[in-house]
A and B are shown apart, each in its own frame.
Chain A
Amino acid sequence: MTVPVVSVEDVSKRFGAVQALRDVSIAFHAGEITALIGENGAGKSTLMRVLEGEHRPDAGKVLVDGQPVQLTSPRMAHGAGIRVIHQEPEIIPELTVAENIFIGDIKARAGLFLDRADLERRSLELLRTFGVIDVLSPGQRCFGLSPALRQLIEIMRALRPGARLLAFDEPTSSLTEDEAQRLFRVIRRLKADGVAVIYISHRLREIIELADRCVVMRDGSRVADEPIAALDEQRMVRLMVGRPVSDLFNRRERTLGPVRLALEGVTTRRVEGISFEVRAGEIVGLGGLVGAGRTEVARAIVGLDPLLSGQMAAGGRPYRPREPADAVAAGIGLVPEDRKQEALLLMQAVRDNVSLVVPDKVSRYGFFSRRRERALVARHVAELRVKTPSIDQAVSKLSGGNQQKVVFARWQARGPAVLILDEPTRGIDVGAKAEIYRLVESLADQGLAILLISSEMPELLGLADRILVMQGGRISGELAWREASEEAVLALAMRSGRETIERRVS
């Protein structure tokens, strides 16, 4: 057995109450592609941060060429040949493509001046390798490049000499099928050159196609490490979730009531011609890639983005919001994507956060009634089983799952007719996720109309009665839950068309 290029042995890492990594041991060999899968919060990202020298493990060690090393800074990890390509590329818009690729390694003439010729030569080589020579030129500024191209630049940056372990963190989440295939060719060549590759992705088909081996993580532990031939998609999912996915959801036919929310030809600066209806008791899923315009649909509905054309109706009446206050008044609630930035008042208590949208229920003539407020908040907090020592606890001290329940409790207290959920389980552990799913189902059973935006395929497939798929700011198709599958959703989300061409030339 050869000595692995990089390995981790019994690595553990804890953040406050969360055990992010628990005795994880994995070896990464030269010329091998190791897929790393697991749900959000399973510990993949933390492991990457340990390898990158961003986090130091509480216990265990990292070995390079069989020798224990202390990676105390990203610079050290970079020097040891460990490179991580992140999901969100860090591209400086004012610099050129070549400068972005070689930043930190730009040669100077006479010790002072940019050696443009050298930069251009080196970057042309890379651009040719990636087959994007006709789309990107070395001297072009990076301002306004599509996510796919930005991702590519980040990858080229990581490929600079000395790379021995390359980790890709969901590199294809914003790529089209064509672009992904091109990326795979590059990864296979890296493998042939003897680089150890870590490939993190939620797309299991890709993994089966590309990887040699698959490591599955769940709740901070490594739960499987097997050759790819020994796995199929179903088993991978079961290993990730810890139980068959179907157990998380309570799939049954729902009785639908009248239309609660209707959009017709809604167009804003970011989305175009959006039409759909959500009925009482119905969960309508909104799928698509990141950046497809799903959140922007929610923004239009709650009055954050003005309508350029089209119309909406809420509860059967014309509805034209100019402010989110209009949405709240019309019985539409939003659980936003970014809990900490958009949903919670972190400096304040659970109580303030819940009672925020029901001033009329906790006051008289504009003056607070503490007694009423306490009673109302306590009831909803208990109903949703929010784990908090008291309703006076600062909301920032709660776990992600309980924070999200506080946001749900807020809308429960208000009792809206329509609830828009934007990535409701982002950054939440598996246990709390299951609770949120049951909650969403029971809200629908109570007759709420629910619009569910999610990037997590099992969630979308498991909860929604029908799924609208978006691409490039438009709805590219609709699937009833019986005909919906991961493949069907992805196919609609990435259907090559006008948008793809536009992205290429942009």
Chain B
Amino acid sequence: MGIRHRMNRREFLGAGAAAAAGLAFPLPAFAQAAARVVVVGGGFGGASCARALKQIDPKLQVTLVEPNRTFVACPFSNNVIAGLRSIEEQQFGYDKIAASGVTVVAQAATAIDGAARTVGLADGTRLSYDRLVLAPGIDLRFDALQGYDEAAAAKMPHAWKAGEQTVLLHKQLEAMDDGGLVVIAAPANPYRCPPGPYERACLIAHYLKTKKPRSKLLILDAKDTFSKQRLFQNAWKELYPGMIEWISLSQGGKVNAVDAATNTLITDFGNHTAKVANVIPPQRAGRIAGLAGAADNTGWCAIDPVTFESKSAPNIHVIGDACIAGGMPKSAFSANSQAKNCASAVATLLAGGTPGTPKLINTCYSLAAPGYGISVAGVYAPKNGLLADVEGAGGVSPADVPREFRAREAEYADAWFKTITAEVFG
């Protein structure tokens, strides 16, 4: 107490040595000029990341490359299919993002030169970057199911990218006579929105029960288990008895081919002809990730779980549905969580620092009916080079609870959508 510290000789020498060492490693040249970050893809991942970068370091030059002037959100789009919501409620613009200082370029990214650090756009211009963030979402694999190409998708919609396809599936359900068979083909893992096909089954069943009660819904699945399975199956029994049938992989549920002319889905053990067929095909990372050399032979992008930097393409970070995020599901919430952590890592790297170890969160709400919500939540951290589930954190909604509990979760779902879209686009 009261003794002032005096620097002794050893400390003095040590301080001098550290200063000298600092001089030996000058800061990178781009630290003087504003560093340039290009973000490709204006969905929940890319838009969140562009905004977060600007918030973390307002001096950064952040460009968001997205060809569509209106974003159509996938979460809650199953409500549009079931006639419970308008497609307009799913639409968001980029004006507020531009107002926050992000340069929004309404062009498609068509080429990436990792060596020159440039992004080529559809109009021929090139953008230079110090670091690039790819958030291209998914491409549907039109080569995966025999007979299922883009033309077939106009007859048998996937509705797995929200927009025209969502509206098309809704219109087909409206046009169907009572007593018709609706078939959903669900893909094997991994794919965008793991609980999505089953929420969709619920909400379509809700529509059928209300408007066309003699109809049936069949799910042909390339899996034997799925997200929130027990909760969904309980809801099917409770809300839609006798209406939904699920054929799993081991029961011959995997669809291999389709015949769009007859609306037929073909498995190894039988054909199913639908009045309305919703074919959700296998998927891969958006095409630009492959062009950047960031996608591996699975079609998805391996990343460093701390920085989200591609394991195969230096200075290129991949977030959202396109990346291999270990235990994290491909969801809007995951993309948003990854975007913020990636933005922080990118800003730190550009400032010459070492990014800290992140913790990420995901929550997925699903509606089994209006006012009937269920959820799954998880916390993730880097472990053995992947983002792994933090054991004991998160979980799913309890199985046996009163309907008020489900009603509250439906309210949370609604609040979550308002919050995330306000944060990202508002």
Chain A partners chain B:
no
